[in-house]
Chains A and B, each alone.
Chain A
Amino acid sequence: MPVLEASNLSVGYGKDISTTRVVEGINFALNQGEFALMLGCNGAGKSTLLRTLSSVQCPLSGEIKICGENIFEVSPRELAQRVAAVFTDKTMAGGLLVEEVVALGRYPYTGFFGKITKEDREVVQSSLSLVGMTDKSKKYLSQLSDGERQKIMIAKALAQQTPLIILDEPTAFLDLPSRIEILYLLKRLTQEENKTILLSTHDVEQSLSVADKLLLIKNGAFKFKTAVDAVESGDIDGLFEERGIMFDKNTGRFIPKIK
């Protein structure tokens, strides 16, 4: 059974007449332990699609299934135990300790007042150790660098103990070492923890080599390929062709088209 499945999905904004369909005809399925990348230009609709898949936003039409069940047929609490999200949103959590932020990932498991049990605390600690941030647990979130904060948000997602993690540009605003670190951390989570991970990124060259599946968005159209297929079939090459950029298969780099 696929962990995440979309059929005939359209995403966008608005209702009735004023509807803006951003991406249409989305069909794909991701299995357990798969590492999937979503690629496309700015404004292509990557964030819209990721938000819809993590059910923060409603789809215009079509169906999303997580672990075989339609997302509208499971309770918000149950859903929060199946899909965890990491966004680029600015938070107001600078005054929380790192371990408190990660403990928020236990939200769908805790009781009415959100009291953290001993078991929750263990999950928080193991999540922190998976991202290598154990020594920062007593620091305030605001004392961390951008890259470290991103790891903490990933630890929060891990503390949700979901089979699926969706990340919207987790490497944006980070320096090169942090970007590579985060990318390989996520890859490791698919291999060692058997998580299904879907992320959008602009670091195409860097991430192509580790991706299992690609979700390509171009001009509102959607394509789902394995990484190898996408390169062979020229879909990667065509991704930015309107911007005058082509993909050099030999070097695995994007270069400007020379006329």
Chain B
Amino acid sequence: MSKKPILLLYALTLMLFVANLFWGSVSISFVDALNVLLGFEVDNKIAESIVLQSRLPQAVTALFAGASLAVAGLMLQTAFSNPLAGPSILGITSGASLGVAVVMLATGGIMGSISGSMANVFGAFIGAILTLGVIILFSIMVRSNVMLLIVGIMVGYVTNSAITLLNFFASEKNVFSYTIWGMGDFSSVSLSDMPLFVAISFIGILLSVLLIKPLNALLLGDRYASNLGVNIRQARVMLLLCTGLLTAIVTSYCGPISFLGLAVPHVARLMTKSSNHHTLLPATLLAGSATALLCTLVCSMPWQSGVLPLNAITPVFGAPVIIYVIINRSKIEYFN
């Protein structure tokens, strides 16, 4: 196994991160942006505030959110022995959304303040974990992988119908803020919320790294893993908490972002040519960050109508990847 793909992904992520600081919907000269980033005094105060208070936090958010969703998707794919699993397709993102909707619509939806966001995160976590619990229950009854995915999509529909119902009874202002949130946005983590966001996603990512060894054993299935000494129930609970936490933190701040969790692990597998989590998991983290940063960059190109919603872009990247792997599955090692 070569380290090349990992190094490539490192470089790519770094490049895209820097590009996000120099490139945005408002045009700022390269020299101004560089001076701001190097900490020099700049005359252009607008440039300073855009780079430091808008672009930098957005890039940091994309960095962590992309890694979080991607690694959550990878863990779900291994845990359910299903390469087409992911936080959104299994309804976990919807569950998190319902949690946020309940909190948002119940409290009047004041985003931005720490307390409001903490409540959102908590709501999203409860929603995500409950949905995951339901999916795990169904996974015991439904042995077929494809059927389980359909059950996940159904759970997502039911959750969304609950959200629609909540929206129906909510005030116009709340519905509007919920709709905007639902489009996905990496710029929604304010500077004051940044430490919380980074801390929680960092904990989730760290937890995923600690699960590398059992994840590899789970590739052989539950029984083999159990015979190798893996405590299956404990490993499942850890995976559940970890994916729930990662999906919840991203969804509560950035909205239900589709396809990153589903598609990025495939990109990572195709690049590293390995299912071994020792290489695959770091590659997935990096590829997730890189993809999220790339999507952010595309969204904040100087379009006519300002910044595009994230969920308008992620499927354009994600869906072709999934279609590609499905069409080529007989030739792709990890499907066989």
Given A95-B334, A114-B213, A142-B336, A89:B224 Cβ within 8 A: yes
In the complex, which residue of chain A has the Cβ closest to the Cβ of B212? A113
A95 with B333: CB separation less than 8 A: yes
Report the stretch among B2-10, B115-123, B227-235, B314-322 that lies at the interface.
Answer: B227-235
CB contact between B220 and one of A91, A110, A112 (< 8 Å): that residue? A91
Given A76-B229, A80-B229, A107-B217: A94 touches B335 (CB 8 Å cut-off): yes
Question: Given the known A-B contacts A85-B227, A96-B275, A110-B213, are A104 and B220 also in contact in the complex, defined by CB atoms under 8 Å?
Answer: yes
A74-96 vs B, CB cutoff 8 Å, 1 = contact: the mask equals 01110110011101011111111
* A166–chain B nearest beta-carbon distance, Å: 9
Interface contact B229-A77, CB-CB below 8 Å:
yes
Q: Within the assembled complex, what's the spacing in Å between the Cα atoms of A114 and B277?
A: 10
Q: Is B311 an interface residue (CB 8 A)?
A: no
Taken together as a complex, chains A and B put the C-alpha atoms of A234 and B31 apart, in Å, by: 94
Question: What 0/1 pattern do residues 36 to 78 of A give for CB contact below 8 A with B?
Answer: 0000000000000001001110000000000000000001110
A38–chain B nearest beta-carbon distance, Å: 17
Residue A108 CB within 8 A of the other chain? yes
Q: Of the candidates A79, A92, A140, which one forms a contact with B83 in the assembled complex, judged by CB atoms under 8 Å apart? A: A92
Tell me the nearest residue of chain B to A106, going by C-beta: B228
Question: For chain B residues 203-244, which have a beta carbon within 8 Å of chain A?
Answer: 210, 212-213, 216-217, 219-221, 223-224, 226-231
What's the Cα separation between A93 and B223 when bound, in Å?
14
Interface of A is mostly: loop
Identity of the chain B residue whose Cβ is nearest the Cβ of A75 in the assembled complex: B229
A143 interface residue, CB < 8 Å from B? Answer: yes
Is A93 a contact of B275 with CB atoms below 8 Å?
A: yes
| A residues near B212, Cβ cutoff 8 Å | 113-114
Which of A75, A90, A95, A114 is in CB contact (< 8 Å) with B275?
A95
**Which residues on B sit within 8 Å (CB–CB) of A92?**
78, 81, 83, 219-221, 275, 334
B278: chain A residues within 8 A (beta carbon): 113-114
B171 CB-CB contact with A under 8 Å: no
Residues of B contacting A94 in the complex (Cβ-Cβ under 8 angstroms) = 275, 333-336
**Are A51 and B229 in touch, CB under 8 angstroms?**
no
Interface check A105, CB cutoff 8 A: yes
Interface size range of chain A in the complex: 35 or more
Say yes or no for A24: interface residue by CB 8 A criterion.
no
Is residue B55 within 8 Å, beta carbon to beta carbon, of the partner chain?
no
**Closest Cβ–Cβ distance, residue B146 to chain A (whole Å):** 14
Instruction: Verify B219–A113 contact, CB threshold 8 A.
Output: no
Q: Which of A76, A105, A113 is B213 in contact with, Cβ under 8 Å? A: A113
Whether B223 and A51, one on each chain, are in contact in the complex, defined by CB atoms closer than 8 angstroms, is yes
Give the residue of B216, B219, B230, B334 whose beta carbon is less than 8 angstroms from that of A76. B230
Contact yes or no, B228 A140, CB < 8 A: no
Q: Which residues of chain B are within 8 angstroms of A79 by Cβ–Cβ distance?
A: 229
The digit string for B264-291, where 1 denotes a CB below 8 A from any CB of A, is 0000010001111010000000000000
A34 at the interface (CB under 8 A from B): no
Q: How far, in angstroms, from A105 to B220 measured CA to CA in the complex?
A: 11
- Flag if A89 contacts B221 (CB, 8 Å): yes
Known contacts: A92-B83, A95-B269. The answer to whether A107 contacts B213 by CB under 8 A is yes
B333 contacts A140, C-beta separation under 8 Å: yes
Quick check: A90 and B221 within 8 Å, CB to CB? Answer: yes
CB-CB under 8 A for A107 and B228, given A91-B220, A93-B220: yes
Instruction: Please state if B275 and A105 are interface contacts (CB–CB under 8 Å).
Output: no
Q: Flag whether A10 is at the interface (Cβ < 8 A).
A: no
B276 pairs with A100, CB closer than 8 A? yes
A contact residues around B228 at 8 Å (CB):
80, 104-105, 107-108, 160
**Pick the contact of B219 from A77, A93, A110 — CB < 8 Å?**
A93
Q: Which residues of B contact A114 (CB under 8 A)?
A: 212-213, 216, 278
**A92-B78, A92-B81 in contact; A143/B333 too (CB < 8 A)?**
yes
B219 touching A142, Cβ below 8 Å: no
Q: Distance in Å from the Cβ of B161 to the closest Cβ of chain A?
A: 33
| Bound Cα distance from A114 to B220, whole angstroms | 15
Q: Which of A51, A56, A76, A140 contacts B231 (CB 8 A)?
A: A76
Q: Which 8 A-B pairs have the closest CB atoms?
A: A95-B334, A95-B275, A80-B229, A114-B213, A142-B336, A107-B228, A85-B227, A94-B336
Residues of B within 8 A of A (CB): 1, 78, 81, 83, 210, 212-213, 216-217, 219-221, 223-224, 226-231, 269, 273-276, 278, 332-336
Residue contacts A-B, CB under 8 angstroms, 9 given: A56-B223, A76-B231, A85-B224, A91-B224, A94-B335, A95-B269, A107-B230, A114-B278, A140-B333
Can you add 13 more A-B contacts, CB < 8 Å, to A75-B229, A104-B224?
A: A87-B221, A87-B223, A89-B221, A90-B221, A93-B219, A93-B220, A93-B275, A95-B274, A97-B1, A97-B274, A104-B220, A114-B212, A114-B213
